[in-house]
Amino acid sequence: MASGRALCIGVEAESDALTFAEIARQKGFDSPLLLLGENATRAAVRGRIDELAAVSAPGDIALITFSGHGGRIRLRDRAVSREPVGLWQLYDGSLNDEQLKSDLGRFRAGVRVLVVSDNCSGGIPSLQATQLSESLSASVLVITSCRNEQYADGAGLPGHFAAVLERTWSGGAFAGAYSQFHAALCGAMPDYQKPDYYRVGPPNDAFETQRPFTI
Amino acid sequence: MDLTHWLHTPHVEIDFRENYGTKLLVGPPGGKPRFKLEPKYLCNPHGEDQVVQFRLKYPGGCMLHNWSELLLTPLGTQPVPPLPNKLPPWGPDKEPEYAAGLDSLIAALYRNDTPLERLEAYLPLFIDHSPESRRQPTVDRVRMVYLKNAVAAPNPNLVLIVFSYYSGYQIRQNGAGSGPPGDG
């Protein structure tokens, strides 16, 4: 029987992380692990992802959510002419697209990984094709609160993603697959902030056609 | 807080910009953004003039209009920690080194409750985000710190500017820039 494990990260957006953790709890994920504020350091986040990867067996699902600042950064080992990559701003520094892809690379084939990236400037892991994304064994579905170069609204504003996602999911009553969930999210979000949805890593049709957050 | 370095080298020229910094720290065509910090004095109860804030001044076009007369207040109780390693002299090809070298300090300055000694101000702006945001001003929190001996260059000092965009009651976007201070 498949197991579901969740890691919900929040830096200066802790209430949104709690919203995602509550969704995970309602869906039967094992005690969602919260990393909030000063506990959401780079080492802690990468360590917990590593642990998730180690205990997840083929057929299991791992949910990773991030709520907080987002941005883009040029990497040290890349030519300046290359495009910057996305990042999550953790408590003590940033976790960039390539570092997250490297961490996700530890999940075994057959594991389903769902990442909800609730931050400005698009999500990570990105669709950007790199050696790291091609070496992923697990199928990773990514839902973002906005696209690259867009801002993500804060609480109380029309594009407040966590609130829209919670309403759309409707306590588990949403009956469609991930692509339909994405379409519904887009319909509920303002024109200036549209969520994105894509897959990184190998395809897993069964995963993509499941209802969101299914274990 | 010791303000003497801001007083002795009040001119700042921005080299490195990232994220929101590429939109907010804008200079004249072909030129770098630059400004000067002018002290504002208040007479203390001992009858002495004391620096309490700094006004941001710049020649026309060297910064966006909304930076004009920005009033920066010294805040914080903990000295800014030195960088673990000195940064190389600035060059466009050194952008990744600057981003990586300043990463932890930028993260510390994003935090609402940072105790680091800094100059802080609130920058009004209109953002091209929604019909409402084009009419209703938002604010960015601007924080500026002075890093002594941070660069392996003849002028080893560096000013780091970090700002965050407020949306609702959360901070949702990051930006930063840095450049050398000078006596002008």
Q: Going along B5-69, which residue ranges are E strands?
A: 11-13, 16-19, 34-43, 49-57
Please give the Cα distance from A62 to B44 (Å, whole number).
Answer: 60
Structure tokens at A102: 């490297």
Please indicate, yes or no, if residue A213 is contained in any of the structural domains.
no
Give me the total of CB pairs closer than 8 Å, taking one residue from chain A and one from chain B: 95
CB contact under 8 A, A91 and B127: no
| Residue B79, number of CB atoms within 10 A of its CB | 13
pLDDT at A132: 79
pLDDT in tens, A28-76: 999 899 999 999 999 999 999 999 999 999 999 999 999 998 988 888 6
Range of the domain at A162: 4-208
Please indicate, yes or no, if residue A145 is contained in any of the structural domains.
yes
Q: Which chain B residues have a beta carbon less than 8 Å from that of A74? A: 18, 95-96, 99
**B84 inside 8 A of chain A by CB:** no
Q: Name the residue among B95, B106, B170 with its Cβ closest to that of A80.
A: B95
DSSP A147: -
pLDDT tens, chain B, 184 aa long:
999 999 999 999 999 998 888 888 999 998 999 999 999 999 999 999 999 999 999 999 999 999 999 999 999 999 999 999 999 999 988 998 999 999 999 999 988 889 999 999 999 988 877 787 788 888 889 999 999 999 999 999 999 999 887 665 555 556 778 888 988 6
Please indicate, yes or no, if residue A46 is contained in any of the structural domains.
yes
pLDDT in tens, A71-105: 888 886 654 446 788 999 999 999 999 999 999 99
Q: Which chain B residues have a beta carbon less than 8 Å from that of A73? A: 18-19, 96, 99
Shortest distance between the Cα of A37 and any Cα of chain B, in A, equals 9
Structure tokens at A42: 């780079």
pLDDT, mean of residues A163-187: 97
| H or E, element range at B147 | strand B138-147
pLDDT in tens, B120-166: 999 998 887 778 778 888 888 999 999 999 999 999 999 999 988 76
Please indicate, yes or no, if residue A214 is contained in any of the structural domains.
no
CATH classification at residue A183: 3.40.50.1460
Range of the domain at B140: 4-182
**Radius of gyration of the CA atoms of chain B, in A:** 16
Give the total number of structural domains in chain A: 1
Query: Which residue of chain A is at minimal alpha-carbon distance from B168?
Result: A154
Give the total number of structural domains in chain B: 1
What is the interface pTM, i.e. ipTM, of the complex? 0.85
pLDDT at B169: 56
pLDDT at A79: 47
Please indicate, yes or no, if residue A103 is contained in any of the structural domains.
yes
For the whole model, what pTM was predicted?
0.91
